[in-house]
């Protein structure tokens, strides 16, 4: 398949290209588009055939459900059953990096939801995504636009590396602003009333969610490795994600101890290090990949996936990174990093 790459810097002057991409989706084709979190690999969410094509292009197991993307939060109600809590979440966080799992309506095929009776809906906050979705009279099903097992793409370059020849169109809209995938929540209910289950942490933090719904429960798979035979609430949490070829070890400990450990390791073997800016003067300038300042979680989120790809190319014996704290946006960083490291944490 020939992949067409379209660069869009200004939506107003690219109406024709946007219409062309929407026409490709309508005809059952695949279009990669930028969002504020990561790039998405889009197809028509109402078409089982399109969803099957998405799984094939990504090399992803077809029991791992897709998120449907809509232009406005209200439009989601055509495809899912939503109540008052959904509307309050939408008013607070949409468009934006929040995905809500709701009971699906019949029009959404099981091929899109991986056989589940629920569907995940998201309304992205990106001018190109918005323009594309507003041209589509159907929801756009889109997983992250990486090959299964690779870090999610935050630039068109990453997408081209992974998916050239596997999709019809790639829209290059520059770097993704946030750099980590959306927060995913499910609305649940028990005797005490409605509550939220956090399935995947992202830029909409637990604290922010708590402002809209008092009870937020963190699903076990967010923080820990599930035991043999345990099933996660979100099927995607089952797979080892973002796995670099170079083994990744997360260092946990007092900053001075971690730095001393890294200095010693640099003498002993070839290391790729995802370090903080503050550490650069104290380390040898070999295979250093600065993720941002120690306290600058937004920059760390923005650069993480890109640097995991870069650091892996260094061909070092081992890759080191810091184990993040789990406060605020740190929870999303922690969740992605423990998975990239296959839960390898070294206390120093």
Least Cβ distance, residue 112 to ligand TXA (angstroms): 9
Q: Contact with ligand TXA (CB under 6 A): which of 96, 236, 290, 292?
A: 236
Q: Contact with ligand TXA (CB under 6 A): which of 100, 119, 275, 288?
A: 119
Q: Which is nearer to ligand TXA, 115 or 293 (CB)?
A: 115
Q: Contact with ligand TXA (CB under 6 A): which of 24, 48, 107, 116?
A: 116
The closest alpha carbon to 235, from 105, 59, 78, 67, belongs to 67
Q: Does 53 interact with ligand TXA (rule: CB under 6 A)? A: no
Number of chain residues interacting with Mg ion (CB under 5 A): 1
Kindly identify the residues of this chain, within the stretch 127-146, that bind Mg ion according to CB under 5 A: 144
Binding mask 238-277 for ligand TXA (x = CB under 6 A): ----------------------------------------
Largest distance between two CA atoms of the chain? 61
Q: Does 331 interact with ligand TXA (rule: CB under 6 A)? A: no
Q: Contact with ligand TXA (CB under 6 A): which of 90, 108, 120, 319?
A: 120
Q: Which is nearer to ligand TXA, 119 or 341 (CB)?
A: 119
Q: Contact with ligand TXA (CB under 6 A): which of 234, 300, 303, 335?
A: 234
State both tokens at 216. 């937020």
Stretch that binds ligand TXA, among 24-32, 117-125, 256-264, 316-324 (CB under 6 A): 117-125
Least Cβ distance, residue 72 to Mg ion (angstroms): 24
Q: Does 66 interact with ligand TXA (rule: CB under 6 A)? A: yes
The closest alpha carbon to 305, from 97, 23, 8, 38, belongs to 38
Stretch that binds ligand TXA, among 23-31, 64-72, 271-279, 296-304 (CB under 6 A): 64-72
Q: Contact with ligand TXA (CB under 6 A): which of 76, 94, 101, 331?
A: 101
Q: Which is nearer to Mg ion, 118 or 144 (CB)?
A: 144
Three-state SS annotation for the chain: CCCEEEECCCHHHHHHHHHHHHHHHHCCCCEEECCCCCCEEEEECCCHHHHHHHHHHHCCCCCCCCEEECCCHHHHHHCECCCHHHHHHHHHHCCCCEEEEEEECCCCCHHHHCCCCEEEEECCCCHHHHHHHHCCCCCEECCECCCCCCCCCCCHHHHHHHHCCCCCEEEECCCCCCCCCCEEEEEEEECCEEEEEEEECCCCCHHHHHCCCCCEEECHHHHCCCCCCCCCCCHHHHCCCCCCCCCEEEEECCHHHHHHHHHHHHHHCCEEEECEHHHHHHCCCCCECCCECCCCHHHHHHHHHHHHHHHHHCCCCEEEEECCCCCCCHHHHHHHHHHHCCCCEEEC
Q: Does 154 interact with ligand TXA (rule: CB under 6 A)? A: no
Q: Contact with ligand TXA (CB under 6 A): which of 8, 21, 38, 136?
A: 38
Q: Which residue is nearest to ligand TXA (CB)?
A: 236
Q: Does 153 interact with ligand TXA (rule: CB under 6 A)? A: no
CA 265, 266, 267: angle at the middle one, nearest 5? 85
User: Residues in the site for ligand TXA, rule: CB under 6 A?
Assistant: 35, 37-38, 40, 64-67, 99, 101, 113, 116, 118-120, 122, 124, 142-144, 181-182, 184, 199, 234-236
User: Residues in the site for Mg ion, rule: CB under 5 A?
Assistant: 144
């Amino acid at each position: 398949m020939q992949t067409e790459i379209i660069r869009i810097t200004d939506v107003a002057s690219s109406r024709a290209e946007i219409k062309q991409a929407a026409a490709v989706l309508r005809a059952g084709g695949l279009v990669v588009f930028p969002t504020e979190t990561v790039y998405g690999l889009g197809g028509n969410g109402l078409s089982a055939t399109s969803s099957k094509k998405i799984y094939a292009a990504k090399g992803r197991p077809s029991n791992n459900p897709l998120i449907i993307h809509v232009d406005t939060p209200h439009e989601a109600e055509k495809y899912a059953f939503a109540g008052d809590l959904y509307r309050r979440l939408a008013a607070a966080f949409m468009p934006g990096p929040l995905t809500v799992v709701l009971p699906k309506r019949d029009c959404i095929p099981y091929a899109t939801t991986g056989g589940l009776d629920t569907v995940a809906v998201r309304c992205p906050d990106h001018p190109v995504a918005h323009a594309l979705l507003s041209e589509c009279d159907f929801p756009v099903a889109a997983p992250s636009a990486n090959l299964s097992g690779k870090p999610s793409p935050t630039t068109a370059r990453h997408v081209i590396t992974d998916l050239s020849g596997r999709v019809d169109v790639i829209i290059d809209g520059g770097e993704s602003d946030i750099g980590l995938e959306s927060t995913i929540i499910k609305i649940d209910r028990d005797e005490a009333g409605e509550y939220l289950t956090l399935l995947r942490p992202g830029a909409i933090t637990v604290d922010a969610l708590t402002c809209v719904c008092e009870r937020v429960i963190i699903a076990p798979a967010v923080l820990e490795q599930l035991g043999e035979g345990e099933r996660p609430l979100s099927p995607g949490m089952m797979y080892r994600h973002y796995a670099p070829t170079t083994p990744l070890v997360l260092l946990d400990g007092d900053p001075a101890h971690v730095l001393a450990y890294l200095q010693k390791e640099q003498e002993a073997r070839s290391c790729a290090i995802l370090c903080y800016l503050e550490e650069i003067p104290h380390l040898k300038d070999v295979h250093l990949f600065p993720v941002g300042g120690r306290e600058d979680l937004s920059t760390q989120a923005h650069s993480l996936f890109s640097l995991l790809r870069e650091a892996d190319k260094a061909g070092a014996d081992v890759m080191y990174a810091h184990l993040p704290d789990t406060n605020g946006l740190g929870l999303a960083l922690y969740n992605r990093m423990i998975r990239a490291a296959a839960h390898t944490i070294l206390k120093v």
